[in-house]
Amino acid sequence: MPQAPAAVRGAFGFLGRTAPGPAAALAARAFLRVGRPTPVRRVDQPMHEEARRGHLSHGGVDVATYGWGDPDAPAVLLVHGWQSRASAFGSLVSALTGAGLRAVAYDAPAHGDSGGRTRAALDDVAIVRRLTDVEAEPWAGVVGHSLGSLAAGVAVREGVPTRRLAGIASIASFRFTEDVFVRAIGLPWSLRDRFSRAWAHRLRDNPEVTPDVADRFDLVTHPLPKRVRALWLHDDGDQQIPSAQSELLLGAHPHSGELVTTTGLGHNRILGDTAVLTHVVGHLTSGPETARRLEVTRHESEEAGRRADHGRG
């Protein structure tokens, strides 16, 4: 994230020196709070309107869910980033459905059309599990962007069934997010660990909170199982999350991961790049199990078409 305004940095610096406890608590509150929801981009509006919409309740918050493509096709789950929304995957949804896959997504709490004012990656893991529970088959793949990539990776590592993960502009560990935030707001570095405890305390009633929550959200120390093939995609000029984060992830998955680096796309435009979409779709459809399921789906679709033609004749 960019540095906070000078006035904010000055205030946190002063408060951190004179009242460290309140400073850490205030920083923790700001850390979890999400700003005004991002609107649907004009280019994504048609795909947004075509979605099959649903909702689920998470922690008393109404969460908007979306689905695209043949309801019987193999499904790919999409997890968006901070201050984003499901519709940001519009170009990818089009590519996935064009390849015979089904796309499933949601607006995280405090994002898009969902309720709430705060979001934690803990919420995403719980919501991903809820969406997984209603699927008859394992996911053909899971795709995450930015913070959503970290949450998706942790969910897969903890048992959400899939053999394919694609992380775009990924975060390797939650500690990176904490470090960036502390530096951005000007909180004295000596309060970094106190800040970490403070935000965990604010989430103490969240059933997903565990004593080792920061360690749990670390895909370098605790990588994906080797059966999961991972594709990391990152722009080398990303100003929000440096590509070094994906390089760390590749290093943690030397035998089951691949890194694709782009230039000139930044943090968000990478989601709509044609070459990136081709890499993602190719990765998700390359497994024999998914290819077999896609072939069955195509066969069933062709049979249904022949029956319909016969009936019209």
105 and 84, same domain (yes or no): yes
pLDDT tens per residue across span 22-46? 999 999 999 989 989 999 999 999 9
51 and 143, same domain (yes or no): yes
Residue finishing a domain among 211, 236, 270 = 211
Arithmetic mean of pLDDT, 121-145? 96
Arithmetic mean of pLDDT, 94-98? 97
72 and 107, same domain (yes or no): yes
CATH number of the domain bearing residue 273: 3.40.50.1820
pLDDT at 270: 98
83 and 232, same domain (yes or no): yes
193 and 153, same domain (yes or no): no
Residue finishing a domain among 211, 235, 268 = 211
pLDDT tens per residue across span 220-258? 999 999 999 999 999 999 999 999 999 999 999 999 999
Q: Which two tokens stand for residue 311?
A: 């009936």
Say if residue 161's pLDDT is above 60. Answer: yes
Q: Which of 130, 152, 154, 127 has its CA nearest to residue 141? A: 152
pLDDT at 291: 54
pLDDT tens per residue across span 279-303? 999 999 986 666 555 565 444 444 5
Say if residue 311's pLDDT is above 80. Answer: no
125 and 45, same domain (yes or no): yes
98 and 169, same domain (yes or no): yes
Pairing outcome for strands 61-68 and 257-262:
unpaired
How many folded domains does the chain comprise? 2
pLDDT at 145: 98
Report long-range pairs for 150-153 (Cβ below 8 Å, ≥24 apart).
150/121, 150/174, 150/177, 150/217, 150/219, 151/79, 151/121, 151/124, 151/125, 151/217, 152/77, 152/79, 152/124, 152/128, 153/219, 153/224, 153/230
75 and 165, same domain (yes or no): yes
C-alpha distance from residue 156 to each of 104, 180, 222, 284, 295 (Å): 16, 25, 12, 15, 25
pTM across the whole model: 0.90
Return mean pLDDT, the chain. 91
Arithmetic mean of pLDDT, 99-123? 96
The whole domain housing 74 covers 40-173+217-312
Please name the residues in contact with 268: beta carbons below 8 A apart, sequence gap of 6 or more.
84, 88
